[in-house]
Chains A and B, each alone.
Chain A
């Protein structure tokens, strides 16, 4: 409801195991429009690469975060000939980071791999997967995911005066990042302007083609373990100082709820309170960016600006390299890669920035602490926010 826009959803701050778990290794496979490899092959490369990056052995793995529950995780158990603990809700981004940190701190497992890969399948407008996710009325109406975010954008423009060129600014900024990332799917196409976005074909008004994420093949994995064990490994551990997950709905038409109460808002407030950090302390961000409007809405929910001010907030390079809140420095889902379950990309770019191992022209100078947000399922579906800090 509208009157809840500015209401405090914090409540009592849960006792997150602050600093008890850490990210210790990561690996990205090739991200491409058309992979010649199977999803399993990409996933295995990602797991093996992340484990080697951490200085661990494959047999050290005892927990897994991956989409698809038991069916989704079985391949790695068979591959390693080892029973594994299935961690949390299987969301391989900040949600999984928070859940894995809790599992590790509680002693259910010690070395958790977070992994996802895809080859061949597509989200949309190809039929199967979208039709499975977008339920009921939506399915019968034939609109694709962009149609729901488009309606969210239309309402935001109506209610707050947000302009299409402000949405476009998000795509322009993340494309700039992608041009500095040789692994990105879109970087080689070069930079884009606000006019390029506005003149790209309409997908679902007010969203244009370049307001939408890409849809491609690729895999990634990262490894988490306890802070004690992390101390003896190859890289500087990235500690999880705060982590919170929350969900609201599994149906896409729940934008009609007037955006509130927002699960994103709750996760951001709690994660930052657990970590004891404020917005100004953050050196970089990972913000889920399936569409340009998503970023604007999430920055509002996460408290970087007031509700309704997200459009103005992203103008002037705020999210760019050298901006106040450098965000999605790999190019994001809009220009780096979207492999169907892409929230882990945001975690990995933050980790690699903190380790200072990305290409020099997009490497931030000495970053120490970051916020990573994860959205899943529907417009108001699953959310997770973590605070990640270099130890």
Chain B
């Protein structure tokens, strides 16, 4: 049973204050190990994407579907997550479009994002 949440926890270095992704034992910028876990607001901009017309056999029922890399607002240069883009017409998916987290299955590392209605 996977636990669905609506929050992404990201690591932030206590020394240089840089956010990082994915989880790592030390900061990739200053190598300090001291770290805090911060709840991301879950908003960001689409960095790149694809519309998948072919997928693993068990996902073929879903094609075509959109997958993309979302740069979270806390640190768009270092925190970028791969996720499904949902609740959006496929031909309306654009790089830089504003997105927010819809669901988050941390056990499987699966995230879905939807267009931001209003900010």
Contacts and interface: CB of A to CB of B under 8 A. Distances in A.
B95 A154 contact: yes
A125 B55 contact: yes
Interface string B41-63: 00000011111111111110010
A205 interface: yes
A154 B67 CA distance: 12
Interface of B is mostly: strand
7 contacts: A125-B55, A137-B81, A143-B56, A147-B55, A202-B51, A205-B53, A255-B48
A204 B109 contact: no
B51 A204 contact: yes
Interface of B: 47-59, 62, 64, 67-69, 77, 80-84, 95, 105, 108-111
Interface of A: 1, 125-127, 130-131, 136-138, 140-144, 146-147, 150-152, 154-155, 158, 201-207, 253, 255-256, 258
A137, A152, A258: which has the most chain B beta carbons within 10 Å? A137
B77 A1 contact: yes
B67 A141 contact: yes
A4 to B, nearest CB: 11
Contacts of B59: 141-143
A138 B95 contact: no
Contacts of B53: 201-205
Contacts of B80: 256
A144 B55 CA distance: 6
A257 to B, nearest CB: 8
A137 B105 CA distance: 10
A154 B109 contact: no
Contacts of B58: 142
Contacts of B109: 136-137, 140
A154 B41 CA distance: 26
Contacts of A206: 50
Nearest to B56: A142
Contact of B47 (A137, A146, A256): A256
Given A138-B82, A205-B50, A255-B48, A143 B57 contact: no
A50 B77 CA distance: 48
A256 B51 CA distance: 17
A9 B9 CA distance: 33
